[in-house]
Structure 1
C-alpha cells in the first residue's frame, strides 16, 4: 500500500520576525521594511504571515509567471523571471499584482484600476444605482474605480417621476463618494475618480462641489475639457454647453462665458488642488483603443490618478521599470545608459504583463465561482456577476497592459543631467521613445507566438497619431504589426509609484527627487547611553537630530569620496547638495513650465497617459496656475494636476454656515451646535513605552474636542508621521448614530479618511474623551480642564497613562502667562508658576517642567 505524503504546511512568521528580516533585506530602511510587511507580504485573514522577505514574494510571483509561460512557445523559466524581478532592481509589478499573484488567501483581482459606466446615455435611477453597486463590488476586490457623470441630466431637467425635475450631477457625486468611504480595503481606503465634461450644463456645480467643507470627500474629481472650450478661453469668447453633451439636437443648451468658468477652475485648483483637468480631445484623438470605439472601446473616464483612460468595464494591471538600474557607473564621468539591456528587459516586461492577463482571467473565474457559490439568490447576485463577466470579456478581448517606470529623477542625476533642463527633457523623451518601440515590438513578437488580441484590425489604426509616430520611428515594426497583429490593445503608462519607489529606494515615477537630504529627530529616552540631545520640545521630550540621505544621493556621496557617516552641519549639507546633480533639481526647484513641457514631450510616446503633479510654492498665484494649464494643453498633455504647497480641499464652507458661526462666536463663546467639520491638530507623544496620538478639534484656534488613544499598533490608528493637521468631520452611521471621521491630505493633494475615531480607541478612553470635550465645548479654560483631568482618580494604569497624555496634549494650547493654580516648583517650592509654551515655568528660579 503506497504511503500517502503529508501535505506541506507553509511556514508562518510573526510580524516582528518578518519586519526584522525585511529590515536586513532593505539594509536598515525601516519605512521600506514596514511597507512591504504590511502591504505585500503573503498573509491570510487571521494575520498569519507566510513570507519572511521580498525574496519569498518574488519567488511566489516568478512561479506563477513561469506556470503561464509553459502554455506558450519558448517559455521563460522560473529562475529567468525571478532574476528580472528580484531585489526590485529591474522589473517591479505594482500594487495589486505584487500582492495578489499566487495568493491563495484572497479572492480578488490583479487589476490596479477599472472604469465602469452605462451603455449609451442612460441616466435612469436604475442605471445610476447599478453604477453605485458595481463601484462597491469592485472596491471590495481592492480596485480603484473611475466613471463619468456626463450622462446624468442637468439640474432642473424634467423627469417622469414624483420629483418632476432632476437634482443634477452633484447629489450623485456625494452618493458615489460615500460608497467609496464605506468600503475598506485591508487598511487602505478605496480610490474613486469622478469626471464630467465641460460641455455639461452642470459643469460649474461639479467644479464647486468639493469646495464645501466635508463634501465629496471620497473621490478625486476631474473635468473633461475639449479643444473648443480652450480656444474660447484663449479668445475670450462664449461657449455652448449642451445636454446630451455635444449633441447635434440637444434637449437643453446654454451659452456661457468660457473665460469666467475657466477662472473658477483655476481658482479652485489653486485653492484646493482640485479639480484636475483632462484634455479630452487629446485623450480621444491619441487613443489607440478608441479606433475600436464601435466595438465597446470608447474611452469615457480614467482611473483615480488619471494615468489610464479606459472604456466601460476595462481594467489595467501596472508594472514599473526601474530606470536607475540601467545607468552604468552612475555619478561618475563614465556614467552611461545601457540601452541594450534596457530594451531586452522591456521586451521581457511586456511578455510578463501579457502573462499577468492570463493570471487575471483565472482570478476573475475564481471571483465568478465564489459569486455562484454564495448563498444569496440569483437576483441579488446578478449585478456583481454581470459586472465581472463584462470585465472578463474586455480583459480577454483587449489584453490591455500598463508598463510604466520609476526612478526617472535618479536616472537623470546618475547620468549627471539636471532634471527639467533642455538636455533632461530630450534624454527623457528618448528613453520613453525607446520604451514604446521595444514594448510594441514585444507585443508584435508575442502575437506571432500567441496570436493578436481578438479584435485587432490594422486598417482601423492606420490614421492614429500614436501609431503613425511608431511608423515614422521604426517602419519594420509597423509593417510587422500589419502582418502579425499585436497582442495587446494598448501598452504604456506612467503611474504614481509611491510604495513601489520606497522599495526600489528611488525617486517616484517621472517625478524629481523630493529632497536629497533632510533631518529627522529620534526621541532620546532617559536611560539611553551616549545619546546626543540636539532639541528639547515644548513638552520637555529630548530629541537627537540625524541626517537622512536619499538613497541615491548617498550613492553619489560614496562615488565622489564624501563621508556618509559624518554628522554634517546644515551649512556643510548645503554645500554638499550644491556639488551634486540633485542641486536645484528637487520637486520645489524644477521650473514648472519646464516640467509641463517635459510631460507633453514624453506623452507623445505613452499610449495611455501620465500621472504627474506640478508642485508649486504656497505663494504661487492663480495666474501662474492658469498659465501652466494653458501650457499643458498646448504641449500635448492629456491631463494635469497642480498642487500648491499648503492648499487643502474642503477648507471652505457655505456663506450661511459662516454667518451662523460668526454670529455664535461674536460673544466670545463656542458655537452651541457642533459644526459638521472642524480643523484639527494631530499631536503625538510617548508615555512610558506606549505611543499615543491625539486629534484635537479646533474652533478659532482653540481646543473644542479631543480624541486620544494608542498609535502605530494593531489596536490603534496608523497615519503617516508627517501628518500634523487635518479635519474632523461629524457624520452619521446607517443606524442614525454619530461618528467622527479624521481626514487628511497626502503630499499629492489626495485625501485619506479614517472613519469612526470613536471605534478606533478603547471604549473607556472614548467615554472620558466625551466628558473632556464637553467641558471644552462649554468654554471652561484649558488650565481648568487640565486641573480637572489631573484630579481624576483612576485605578487602571493604562487609563492613567492616557490621562497624562491628554494633559500633555492640551497644555500646548494654554496661553502663555496663564497662572498655574495649586502647583509648586519642584526646584524651589515656589507657587509663583505660569504656563509658557505649554510648560510650567517658575518665575522665581526659572526652572521648567513639561508634561
Structure 2
C-alpha cells in the first residue's frame, strides 16, 4: 500500500504576533514596523501572514536570487546574498522587488515603473483608449506608469469624425488621471506621470490643467523643455510651437513669447508644486539607451517620480545601497568611508539587479499564463497580452537596471561633513562617481560571464557623453567594455526611498535629514504612578511629552556619551543640535542653489535621472523659483521639482488672478446640479476595520463625491460583489409602491450588466441615516476635507457606529485634493499641526510620518 504524503502548510502568524516581533526587530520603531508589516510582509489575499520579521523576508529573497545564481558561473550562495541584504544594512531591493520576489500569492510584476506609448495611429481614439487600457493593466500589477501626450492633436484642429475638431490634450489628462484613481494596488492607488513637450501648441493648457481644484488629481505632470526654449527664455525672444512637435513639415505653427510661458510654469510651480520640469535635450543627449533609438529605445517619458526616463514598453526595477553602513567609526574623529567594501558591494548590487531581471521574466510568464487562463475572449485579452509580450521583449533585450542609494544625509553627518557644504558636495560626487564606475565594471564582467545585452554595439555609443566620461575616468574599464560588451543597457538612478528609509532608519535617498529631533505626546492616566503630565488639552485629557530623535542623531548622542533617556528642555535640545553634525544641515537649512549644483554635478554620474525636490519656505518669491529652475538647466540637471511650504493649499479654481487671493481652496464650494441625476458614475471602496470587511459606494459627478452608501459586506443582508469590481453606476429607481431606491450596476468580465437593487436597504438603518446626512453635505458642495473633519468630530455612542465613522472618513479622504492642509488635527508622531493630505493619507510636513487609517 502506497503511503500518501501531504505537504505541510506554511506557518502563519497573527497580526499581533507579526507586529510585536517586527517592533522588537526595529527596536520599538512603531512606524517602521507597521510599514514593513503592511507593505512587504508575505501575506495572501485572505490576510494570512507568513513572515514574522523582515529577516524572514530577506531569507525569502535570498533563496530566489540564489536559485537564479545557479544558472551562471561562480554563483553567489543563499547565505552570501542574505548577508548582503539582511537587516537592511547594505543592499535593499526597493518596493516591488521586496514585496514580489518569492511571493507565490500575487501574480504581479517586479518592476517599479513602466513607460508606455504609441506610434503610427497614436492620435486616434483607438490609440488613446489602448494607452488607457495598458495603463490600468500595468497598475493592477503594482507598477507606476508614465506616458507622454505630445502626439495628441491640439485643441481645435480638424478630425474626421462627428466632432469635426479635436478637444486637445486636457480631457485626456483627466481620463488617464481618473483611470489611475480607479486602480487599487494592495490598498494603495496607482501612480502616473503625464508629460508633454513645450513645443506642443497645447502645452500652456497642460501647464494650467491642475490649477482647477479636483482636476487631474491622479497624476504627476511634467513639461519636457528643450534647450531652444530655455535659450529663448534667457534672450527674451519668441519660440515656435509645432504639431507634430519638432516636425520639419508641421501642420500647425504657433508663436509664443518664451518668457511669458516660462513665467506661467514658474508661477504654477510656486503656487501648487507642479508642473515639474524635464530638461529634455539633456535627457536625450546623455541617454545611453537613446544610442539605440532606431531599435525601439527612444526615450519618450519618465516614471511617476521622474528618476527613470524610458522608451515605450520598457520597465525598471529599483535597488538602494545604504551609504551609512560604509562609514566606519561613525560620529567619531576616526570616522572614514570604506571605499574598498563599498566597491565590492556595488558589484554585488549590480549582479543582484541582473538576477532580478531573470525573476521578472518568470513573473511576466506567470502573468501571461494568467491572462491565457482568464475566461474572457481572446479579443478582450489581446491588448493586455500584447502589452506584456512587449514588456518582456524589452526586459530580455535591454536588461535595464536601477541601482540607487539611500542615507546620503546620514553618511555625511557620520563623517562629520556638513550636507550642502563645498566639502559635502565634493565627497558626495566622489561616492556617486565610484558607484557609476563600479556598476559599469560589474556589468562588463557580467557580460563576459553571461553575455551582453542583445543589441549592444560599442560603435553606437562612442559619442555618448556619459560613456566618454567613464572612458576618461577609467580607460581600462572602457576597453574591457569594447571587448566584452555590457550586460545592461542602462544601470543607475537615484529614486525617492520613502518607506525604504523608514526601514533602514536613515535619511531618505539623496536628501538631508528632515529634522534631527522633535517632540511627541502620548495620552496618560494622571492617576497612574510614575506618570508625568506635561499638557492638558481642551477636553481635559492628560498628555506626557517626550522627545523623539532621528535614529542616527540618537546614535551620535550615544557615541558621545549623551544620555538619550534624559528629559531635555527645549534649550538643551537646541544646544545638542548645534553641537551635532546635523546642525545647519536639515532640509530647511540647506542652501537651495547649492543643492541644485550638487544635483547637477552628481547627475553627470547617473545614467538615468535623480528624483529630488527642492523644499522652500512659504515666503520665497516666484523669481527665486525661476532662478532655481534656470540654474538646474545650466548645471546639467535632467529634471527638477520645487515644493514651497503650504503651496498646495492655495490651488486656483480659474485663471482669474483675483480669485487666487480671495478664495483659498479650503473654502471653495463645489456646485452640483440642483436635481439629482438619475444615473451617477460610482467608485467602490473596500476597507477593513476590526477584522470586519466594509464597503462604500460613492456616487460621483465630474469625479467629485456626491453621495455615499456604506456598511458591512458580510452583513446578513450584505452585498455580494466580486473583489475586482472597483466602479460602476448608481441608478435612482422606484419600487412598486412608489418609494425611492438606489441600485448599483456593474459589468461582469463578459460585459453583462449586473444590478444590485436597493443599496439603501442593504445596510443597517442606522448606517443609512448617518449616510444620508453625509450625502446631504456632499450634495451641497461642502469641501471633502471639511466633511472628513466633521465625520471625525462626531460623538457616537456605539462601537459599531464609530467603526462606520472611521470607514466613511477613510473612504472619502481619497478624494481630498493632494496638498490640502488639515485643520484642527495634530500629528500622532510629533504633535505638529502642519498636516496635509497626500493620496488620501494625512502626512506630517514636520516629521514626515503618514497616517492612512
Superposed pair shares fold, TM > 0.5? yes
Matches within 5 A, 1:347-362: 347-362=347-362
1:42 aligns with 2:42: yes
Q: 1:37 to 1:675 in 2, by over 3 A?
A: farther
Report the counterpart of residue 705 of structure 2 in structure 1: 730
- DSSP 3-state at the match of 2:178: helix
Cα pair 2:600 2:636 within 8 Å, conserved = yes
TM-score normalised over the length of structure 1: 0.82
Q: Distance in 1 between matches of 2:668 and 2:583?
A: 49
Q: 1:774 to 1:396 in 2, by over 3 A?
A: closer
Shift of 1:3: 3.9
Report the counterpart of residue 160 of structure 1 in structure 2: 160
Q: 1:577 to 1:716 in 2, by over 3 A?
A: farther
Report the counterpart of residue 822 of structure 1 in structure 2: none
Shift of 1:652: 1.5
Report the counterpart of residue 257 of structure 1 in structure 2: 257
Matches within 5 A, 1:666-705: none
Cα pair 1:121 1:151 within 8 Å, conserved = no
Shift of 1:796: 4.9
TM-score normalised over the length of structure 2: 0.82
Report the counterpart of residue 773 of structure 2 in structure 1: 771
Cα pair 1:670 1:778 within 8 Å, conserved = no
Q: Distance in 2 between matches of 1:145 and 1:322?
A: 26
Matches within 5 A, 1:394-413: 394-413=394-413
Matches within 5 A, 1:805-844: none
- DSSP 3-state at the match of 2:521: strand
- DSSP 3-state at the match of 1:263: helix
Alignment RMSD: 3.3
Cα pair 1:211 1:649 within 8 Å, conserved = no
Q: Distance in 2 between matches of 1:772 and 1:731?
A: 9
Q: Distance in 2 between matches of 1:26 and 1:662?
A: 48
Shift of 1:41: 0.4
Shift of 1:120: 4.4
Matches within 5 A, 1:605-644: 605-644=605-644
Q: 1:256 to 1:450 in 2, by over 3 A?
A: same
1:514 aligns with 2:514: yes
Shift of 1:172: 0.2
Cα displacement string for residues 146-165 of structure 1 (whole angstroms, at most 9, x for unaligned residues): 00000001000000000000
Report the counterpart of residue 319 of structure 2 in structure 1: 319
1:9 aligns with 2:29: no
Report the counterpart of residue 27 of structure 1 in structure 2: 27
Cα pair 1:214 1:650 within 8 Å, conserved = no
Report the counterpart of residue 97 of structure 1 in structure 2: 97
1:432 aligns with 2:426: no
Report the counterpart of residue 54 of structure 1 in structure 2: 54
- DSSP 3-state at the match of 1:208: helix
Cα displacement string for residues 771-796 of structure 1 (whole angstroms, at most 9, x for unaligned residues): 3775899999xxxx9xxx9xx99985
Matches within 5 A, 1:345-744: 345-525=345-525, 528-648=528-648, 651-654=651-654, 729-730=704-705, 734-736=728-730
Cα pair 1:215 1:650 within 8 Å, conserved = no
Q: 1:671 to 1:346 in 2, by over 3 A?
A: closer
Q: Distance in 2 between matches of 1:510 and 1:183?
A: 30
Report the counterpart of residue 751 of structure 1 in structure 2: none
Shift of 1:713: 5.6
Shift of 1:258: 0.3
Cα displacement string for residues 211-262 of structure 1 (whole angstroms, at most 9, x for unaligned residues): 0010000000000000000000000000000000000110001110000000
Cα pair 1:226 1:279 within 8 Å, conserved = yes
- DSSP 3-state at the match of 1:735: strand
Q: Distance in 1 between matches of 2:542 and 2:796?
A: 28
Cα displacement string for residues 57-110 of structure 1 (whole angstroms, at most 9, x for unaligned residues): 000000000000000000000000000000000000000000000000000100
Cα pair 1:303 1:310 within 8 Å, conserved = yes
Cα displacement string for residues 617-661 of structure 1 (whole angstroms, at most 9, x for unaligned residues): 0111101100000000001000000000111177211379999x9
Report the counterpart of residue 228 of structure 2 in structure 1: 228
Cα pair 2:240 2:255 within 8 Å, conserved = yes
- DSSP 3-state at the match of 1:129: helix
Shift of 1:736: 4.4
Q: Which runs of 5+ in 2 are unaligned?
A: 675-685, 696-702, 708-726, 733-741, 743-759, 809-821, 825-853
Q: Distance in 2 between matches of 1:6 and 1:798?
A: 42
Q: Distance in 1 between matches of 2:662 and 2:424?
A: 52
Q: Distance in 1 between matches of 2:584 and 2:730?
A: 53
Q: Distance in 2 between matches of 1:793 and 1:312?
A: 52
Cα pair 1:194 1:220 within 8 Å, conserved = yes
Shift of 1:543: 1.5
Shift of 1:537: 2.1
1:308 aligns with 2:324: no
Report the counterpart of residue 682 of structure 1 in structure 2: none
Count of residues in Structure 1 that have an aligned counterpart in Structure 2: 736
Shift of 1:768: 1.9
Cα displacement string for residues 569-593 of structure 1 (whole angstroms, at most 9, x for unaligned residues): 1100000000000001000100000
Q: Distance in 1 between matches of 2:3 and 2:54?
A: 35
- DSSP 3-state at the match of 2:277: strand
Cα pair 2:671 2:780 within 8 Å, conserved = no
Shift of 1:734: 3.6
Cα displacement string for residues 348-387 of structure 1 (whole angstroms, at most 9, x for unaligned residues): 0100000000000000000000101111110000000000
Q: Distance in 1 between matches of 2:781 and 2:196?
A: 45
Shift of 1:764: 3.4
Q: 1:769 to 1:530 in 2, by over 3 A?
A: farther
- DSSP 3-state at the match of 2:647: coil
Shift of 1:729: 4.2
Q: From the CA coordinates, give the structure whose radius of gyration is larger.
A: 1
Q: 1:655 to 1:312 in 2, by over 3 A?
A: closer
Q: Distance in 2 between matches of 1:802 and 1:384?
A: 37
Cα displacement string for residues 200-219 of structure 1 (whole angstroms, at most 9, x for unaligned residues): 00000000000001000000
- DSSP 3-state at the match of 2:445: helix
Cα pair 2:706 2:778 within 8 Å, conserved = no
Cα pair 1:273 1:641 within 8 Å, conserved = yes
Report the counterpart of residue 832 of structure 1 in structure 2: none
Q: Which runs of 5+ in 1 are unaligned?
A: 664-668, 677-708, 719-727, 740-757, 807-811, 815-851
Cα pair 1:194 1:221 within 8 Å, conserved = yes
Q: 1:548 to 1:298 in 2, by over 3 A?
A: same
Report the counterpart of residue 290 of structure 2 in structure 1: 290
Cα pair 2:121 2:127 within 8 Å, conserved = no
Q: 1:517 to 1:608 in 2, by over 3 A?
A: same
Q: Distance in 2 between matches of 1:94 and 1:34?
A: 17
Shift of 1:763: 7.5
